[in-house]
Structure 1
Amino acid sequence: MRHPTLIAVSGPPGAGKTTLAHALADALGWPAVCRDEIKERMVAAGADPADHLDLKTLEAFFRTIGELVKSGTSLVAEAAFQDRLWRPGLEPLVDLAGIRVIRCVVDPECARVRITRRAAEVPSRAVHADADLLRRIAEGERPIESWVPIALDVPCLVVDTTQDWKPSLARIVEFATLTQQSTADDQSTITSTDNA
């Protein structure tokens, strides 16, 4: 059986990862597994946000991804995927799926505006640390700029989400559906910020 494909949509807070992940999953006809949405569903089902929920969400996220991959299902997974915390969860899947990383980049001020807006307009965001993130930014910290990309030796496409998507969704879909042979033929990491 051909390995399924796992597209890991990554990036700092406010980079528009969830929006892109759902658009890509819809275009591909694949399921989308989004870390923040899992946490929101857990709280809606009665979980206590103070009860080590970030760790439980992380475990549920990778358990869901693992089950889908082992069943042969290709999917789009979305989370920050910052290297130290997330690479250990992805590494065991390298032999089970063709992993490709989409790295969202964004202007920090654009990200701050997005975080502020969603915190005010989306009630389910209350279970996340948006307020703390905005406080840190106001105090001069740089959590957007200090985000550390995941370090896996897999193909990677850089997408600037500041205004629209660069490259376009059509190019992102093309990247996501590269054949495994095409990926094997290109040993270098694929990166692009053009409008192709």
Structure 2
Amino acid sequence: MHKPKASQDKPVVVAVCGCPGTGKTTVARAVAHRLGVPLLIRDEIKAGLGLSSASVGTEGIQFPEDFHIAGGPVSVRAEAVMIDLATKLAGAGVSFVAESSVLSGQLVDGLRAADARVLAVHVVADEAVIAQRLRTRGAAVDAQLAELFRRGEMPASLFEPPAGVDAVVKIDTSEAGPPTVEEVEAAVLALLAVRR
């Protein structure tokens, strides 16, 4: 597919969301590559912000204590930066892919205010697959997420796309192998064909 052009057409933002461990980042990278558009990943923004206040010691890079807290100060700043950047890109007529576990109403509202079409891609997987992926990744944060998921304290409904998007595509990544993104490409083409 050719890169969606910024012309009189409104940009299309593919917003990828889903529970940790479903493969959102893998799907988002595949979609951005397939469409030939830029990719924003909230966790990469968060890592950059964390590095700005990290220190280097004998054990390597030490992130601030609150870096790994979901909803903590670094997470809140990363969300604000993501919303600002996404809104500016959309306002400039740029189509792109944005990946974040939860698509906040603020992000969707910002994209709508920038006159973008928003396609939500909801990435899902079987609970057992998610739990295994979180355990396999091994990071302390993923172990905490796996435990929350196991206890039912992280409901799947938390990661569903909010109201206000133009279309939703669900991708199930339970099976091993690269994600299939043709349905996302078809949905983007359908949104580009709609004149508003």
Give TM class, smaller chain. 0.7 to 0.9
Q: Which runs of 4+ in 1 moved over 6 A?
A: none
Question: CA shift at 1:28, angstroms?
Answer: 0.7
CA contact under 8 A between 1:7 and 1:99: conserved in structure 2? yes
Hey, what does 1:174 align to over in structure 2?
186
* Partner of residue 39 from structure 2, selected from 32, 37, 42: 32
Question: CA shift at 1:65, angstroms?
Answer: 0.7
Q: Secondary structure, in 3 states, of the residue corresponding to 2:190?
A: coil
User: Which amino acid letter does the alignment assign opposite residue 111 of structure 2?
Assistant: L
**CA offset digits 1:112-149 (Å, max 9, x no partner):** 111122235xxxxx6xx3232123245x2252534341
**CA offset digits 1:139-186 (Å, max 9, x no partner):** x225253434122242111111111589832222222232444487xx
CA contact under 8 A between 1:43 and 1:49: conserved in structure 2? no
Hey, what does 2:161 align to over in structure 1?
150
TM-score (normalised: structure 1): 0.77
User: Which amino acid letter does the alignment assign opposite residue 22 of structure 1?
Assistant: R
CA distance in structure 2 between the aligned counterparts of 1:109 and 1:3, rounded to whole angstroms? 40
Deviates more, 1:41-50 or 1:95-104: 41-50
Mark the runs of 5 or more structure 1 residues left unpaired by the alignment. Answer: 121-125, 185-196
2:130 pairs with 1:119: no
CA distance in structure 2 between the aligned counterparts of 1:29 and 1:166, rounded to whole angstroms? 17
**CA offset digits 1:53-83 (Å, max 9, x no partner):** 111011011111112111111000011125x
Q: 1:87 to 1:164 in 2, by over 3 A?
A: farther
Hey, what does 1:68 align to over in structure 2?
89
Count of aligned pairs between the two proteins = 173
Q: What root-mean-square deviation, in Å, do the aligned CA atoms of Structure 1 and Structure 2 show?
A: 2.5
Residue identity over aligned pairs, in percent, reads 25
CA distance in structure 1 between the aligned counterparts of 2:177 and 2:158, rounded to whole angstroms? 20
Q: 1:60 to 1:149 in 2, by over 3 A?
A: same
Hey, what does 1:59 align to over in structure 2?
80
CA distance in structure 1 between the aligned counterparts of 2:143 and 2:95, rounded to whole angstroms? 34
Deviates more, 1:60-69 or 1:175-184: 175-184
Deviates more, 1:159-168 or 1:90-99: 159-168
Hey, what does 2:13 align to over in structure 1?
6
CA distance in structure 2 between the aligned counterparts of 1:113 and 1:183, rounded to whole angstroms? 44
TM-score (normalised: structure 2): 0.77
CA contact under 8 A between 1:6 and 1:77: conserved in structure 2? yes
CA contact under 8 A between 1:12 and 1:105: conserved in structure 2? yes
**Aligned residue runs from structure 1 range 99-114, under 5 A:** 99-114=118-133
User: Which amino acid letter does the alignment assign opposite residue 130 of structure 2?
Assistant: A
Q: Secondary structure, in 3 states, of the residue corresponding to 1:177?
A: helix
